[in-house]
Amino acid sequence: MLKHWGTRIAAAVIGVLALVWLGFWIRDLSDPYHLPGGDWRLFKKLFVTSDGRVVDTGNGNITHSEGQAYGMILAEAYGDRRTFNRIWSWTQKNLQTRPNDKLLSWLWKPTGKGPEGSITDPNNASDGELLAAWALVRASNRWNSYPYQQSAAELLVDLRRLAVRQTPSGLVLLPGVDGFLKADGLVLNPSYYVFPALRELAKIFPGSGWDQLDAAGRSLIREARFGKWRLNPDWLLDGEAITLGAPFPPDFGYNAVRIPLHVAWGDPTSDLLAPYGDFWKDFPDLAAIPATVNLETDAFGPDPSLPGVQSIARFVLACRSGTRLVMRDMPRVSRDEPYYSASLKLLTKVALRDTFGGNP
């Protein structure tokens, strides 16, 4: 008798799970911009620990403020409040520890296979605060929770005070509070200007200057173009002129590939996308896109681009050509790809949903 009832219960559970799966499948068909939940479940399994640390598997399993913020953006996008809270809680406990401000130390390294580790560079990375504040604002809107918005405001007040500078050409965002003011100019990272974040933060916190920084960032990207394809570099020097003289390789590479994503996210007709579209359309096989381009010599680096970069290219090329791109056209996260590639892939999907499907 017990065995009979156990069989019936098991069958009922399987039936319920089948109905749930069918519901997700029907939704994917009926809503071409629905984010597939399998991507997020795999991302969490591969890169998010039980206590909320986002692990950069491509860089010795370190954790950085950018990765925590990416995890928060994705958790909100997928409606996963529990994971959002875990990631933000870990971030507050382990990175928001600077004694004189609310900024996030950018680099935390593990000391073993367990949860132990420590901050190894207390400097901030300004995109980390910008992205985290944006994630908190989006979470506040989704879950109607004012404390999230309050935490965002605390981040932004100190970011505005310590890392945004007025220059003769307008506002600039320093990559970090310390180390980027040189005798011959400011070292800047154009990919730190996250335009969809700046637009939304300007609406939520009017008068704080984020709209001015948005405009200044677009002007910087328009001016800071180099090489045969007129691409933006990962790093530049803003002195008497904008040059490639920063103490970093003169590459369009792992940082700058985010610029067209930030531009296209909510602004798919921007003319700032033109150089990227012109470059990437020369690669009918997106897997052949190089990871880096030297903007002084136009030489390609030896490594192929990450799959996540190829997703950005697919999105940008669709924006440039006016081609209708839907979620099923975008590749899913694979079990063997590193954190950064998977992050770019999922962020591109969120951008696709926000831009063409409407942000719920």
Residues annotated as catalytic (active site), given as ranges: 66, 127
Report the half-sphere exposure of 15 (CA within 13 A, side-chain side).
6
CB-based burial label for 32 (10 Å; 0-12, 13-18, 19+): middle
Q: Which residues pair with 121 in a beta bridge?
A: 107
What are the CA-CA distances from residue 18 to residues 13, 25, 28, 39 (Å)? 9, 10, 15, 19
| Residue-by-residue DSSP string for 127-174 | HHHHHHHHHHHHHHHHHT-HHHHHHHHHHHHHHHHHHEEEETTEEEE-
Contact 174, 124 (CB under 8 A): no
Give the H or E element holding residue 119: strand 117-124
In whole angstroms, give the CA distance from residue 29 to residue 327: 10
In whole angstroms, give the CA distance from residue 197 to residue 201: 6
Written as six digits, the tokens of 36 are 């597939």
CA dihedral 11, 16, 17, 23 (to 10 degrees): 150
Contact 237, 223 (CB under 8 A): no
